[in-house]
Structure 1
Amino acid sequence: MLQTSTPHSPLAQAAYRALLASLAAEPELGLRGVAICKSRGGGRFWYDSYRVGASVKSRYLGPDSSALQEKLRAHAEQRAAFAVRQQERRSFVRFLQAERVALIDGGTGSFLSAFSALGGFRHGAVLMGEPAFELSALELGCRLTTTQQSCLSRSVPSCIPLAALEPVDEGLYEVTGELKLRASVPFDPVWPLSWPSASRDVRITYLTPRVSPDGTPVWPLSSDDYRAPPLMKFLIEQSIAAALPYRHGVLLRIPRPERFALHALLMAHCHAGANRTERAATDLDQATALLDILIRDRPDDLRAAWAIAAAQWPDLLQASLSQAPWIRDRLDTADITI
């Protein structure tokens, strides 16, 4: 059961905001890694060499020319300035880690770093589940204590849920291909995909796109064969940028905290009706923890999200509140009713 939240120190909150602002302002570099020239057949050709997890990949840039060399010189200057900003962000991450803020295991951090670097979140993906819950608390400036170990830092194999709104950005096709996601072994229908890292296989699931029988993602080619469930759409539309304190910081996207809280409340009744009582209890714990902070610090954001949810699912909200009268009491203090 989640207990009362405690605020992070003012310095930790400032460090997180500075990290997020620096990541969000970072311009996209022309190259993912370093430029390498190779000689072949009497000619010289340039390649972009970059790392994805434990693998080194290369992307063809073109034959040697004065125009390309000029672009590479400009990139080298940008890269030098980028390295300075990286070191600044690394200092923020070190401080947050010292403050025990959102610590993360290596497998999860490595995958999210690679996924972000390849543009997965820029192309519309949203981090979901317990990792997003913990980063929502960080967004709100609070630490949530629980008898269960942190999802981000636990030592068991990582499980990372992702989602995307339709129509899916075709750039996600390329990201999925670059990462070489494969069916998990042994196959797990809940976490069907696996990404091999240096230390372990990281388990992944796409919550909204279809998955083929062998566990590989089937990214839809059109919105005709892709529909996000309405509750999922409510959760991930208007997602926000977040910073993961890992290495030099990782820019990703998570649901808005108020939508995450209300989605958890709505799903509690759905899970209870499907005899998933443990999952329903977790939903109510997460909803309670976030709602307590939102009522105190961001009541206007909560009221705006509540108005949308109450207009679409009033009966479901009533049913969930009947399972958790303490949440109804908290909402009453903020004058939030159906």
Structure 2
Amino acid sequence: MNRETGSLLFNMSKVGTFRLGGTLIGTNAFRLMEGELGLTLPRDGVENTGDIDIAQFERLSLVLEDEVQPSLAETFTALKFDPVEALDTNSVWRWRQAKSGTLVEFLTPSFEENEGIKALPALGVKARALHHLNYLIADPIPAAALYREGVLVQIPRPERFAIHKLIVTELRRDGATSDKSYKDRQQAKWLIENMAEDRPMDVWEAYQDARSRGPKWRDRIARSLDRIPSLQQVLEDCGG
């Protein structure tokens, strides 16, 4: 983990971001799955993207009678992050550090047809609402980031992370054949193939859970698997 990412996670943890339900997602979460899996991640697909994505359930944020102290806005200002202005100046959900280019984004599951901007009171920020995110961040697990004395965060379960990647790769704005989509599929493939060896039921249950959520979910997973034909059989074998 580079210094910029470690410093940011350390300071976010110190004010209570992860204690209050914030979940680190994206490639930085993938990089922290080594400890959970007892494996060394491949070099391909784990390059630092410069993005740090934090997700939280809006409903959880509303019912918690607690909040980060001091505010994340103060924390970001101290670390020389500036808000990335949105069309609505009251709906800022991203901050960027000019020196490093690091971008922090806050996200939350969308349970409505449209994906908009929601408030996360416990974290004191706004967040972009996205479909399928509720599946990813359900039942997260703890993970330790190696920076200073260590930073305790929480990340998605690796089996859910993998299946979610198969879904979102088909939804990327830059297309399902882009470099980012390719990286999504490679991360999913690596996780599924390795977990199939000693945790096949975890993979199978996550796969079946996603498929049970409707025809659109099944279609997106199927289209991803068409691009990785060998993975379909691995998934079927996980179910015995």
Tell me the TM-score normalized by structure 2.
Answer: 0.76
Aligned to 1:176: 72
Aligned residue for 2:72, secondary structure, equals helix
One-letter amino acid of the structure 2 residue matched with residue 193 of structure 1: W
Q: Deviations over 1:44-80 (max 9, x none)?
A: xxxxxxxxxxxxxxxxxxxxxxxxxxxxxxxxxxxxx
Superposed displacement of residue 177, structure 1: 3.1
Q: What's 2:89 paired with?
A: none
Give unmatched runs, 5+ long, in structure 1: 1-103, 186-190, 211-216
Match of 1:160 in 2: 52
- How far the C-alpha of 1:147 sits from its partner, in A, is 4.1
CA RMSD of aligned residues (A): 3.2
Q: CA deviation at 1:129?
A: 0.8
Unaligned runs of 5+ in 2: 86-92, 111-116
Query: Shift of residue 248 of structure 1?
Result: 0.6
Amino acid at match of 1:163: A
**Structure 2 residue matching 1:132: 3-state secondary structure:** helix
Counterpart among 180, 183, 195 of residue 294 in structure 1? 195
Q: Decide whether aligned partners of structure 1 residues 235 and 194 sit closer, same or farther in structure 2, where only a CA change above 3 A counts.
A: same
CA contact (8 A) 2:210 2:218 kept: yes
Which amino acid in structure 1 is aligned with residue 51 of structure 2?
A: C
CA 1:256–1:148: 2 relative to 1, 3 Å = closer
Once residues 205 and 46 of structure 2 are traced to their aligned partners in structure 1, the CA distance between those partners, rounded to angstroms, is 32
Distance 1:256 1:292 in 2: 15
**What is the CA-CA distance between 1:295 and the residue it aligns to?**
0.6
CA drift of 1:125 comes to: 0.8
Pairing 1:154-233 to 2, within 5 Å after superposition: 158-167=50-59, 168=61, 169=64, 171-172=67-68, 174-179=70-75, 180=77, 181-183=81-83, 192-195=94-97, 200=100, 202-208=102-108, 219-220=119-120, 228-233=129-134
Report the structure, 1 or 2, having the larger helix content. 1
Instruction: Report the CA distance shift for 1:175/1:254 in structure 2 as closer, same or farther (over 3 A).
Output: farther
Report the Cα distance in structure 2 between the residues aligned to 1:145 and 1:109, rounded to whole angstroms: 21
Q: Distance in 1 between matches of 2:109 and 2:160?
A: 21
Q: How does 1:1-338 map to 2 (within 5 A)?
A: 104-147=1-44, 150-151=47-48, 158-167=50-59, 168=61, 169=64, 171-172=67-68, 174-179=70-75, 180=77, 181-183=81-83, 192-195=94-97, 200=100, 202-208=102-108, 219-220=119-120, 228-271=129-172, 274=175, 277-312=178-213, 313-335=217-239
Q: TM-score, normalised by structure 1?
A: 0.56
CA contact (8 A) 1:115 1:175 kept: no
After superposition, the Cα gap between the structure-2 partners of 1:109 and 1:248, relative to the gap in structure 1 and judged at 3 Å, is same
Using the alignment, how far apart are the partners of 1:106 and 1:195 within structure 2?
13
Tell me, in whole angstroms, the C-alpha distance in 1 between the residues paired with 2:138 and 2:101: 30
Shift of 1:175: 3.4
Q: Is the 8 A contact 1:125 1:162 kept in 2?
A: yes
In 2 relative to 1, CA 175–241 (structure 1 residues): closer, same or farther, beyond 3 Å?
farther
User: How far apart are the structure 2 equivalents of 1:162 and 1:272?
Assistant: 20
Which deviations, in whole Å up to 9, do the C-alpha atoms of 1:25-49 show, x marking residues without a partner? Answer: xxxxxxxxxxxxxxxxxxxxxxxxx
Q: Which amino acid aligns with 1:194?
A: R
Give the 3 Å change call, closer, same or farther, for CA 123–175 of structure 1 in structure 2: farther
Post-superposition offset of 1:126: 0.7
What amino acid maps onto 2:7 in structure 1? S
Deviation at 1:276, TM superposition (A): 5.5
Matched residue, 1:42: none
- For the structure 1 residues 206 and 182, does the alpha-carbon distance in structure 2 shift closer, same or farther, using more than 3 Å as the test? same
Structure label with greater radius of gyration = 1
CA contact (8 A) 1:209 1:219 kept: no
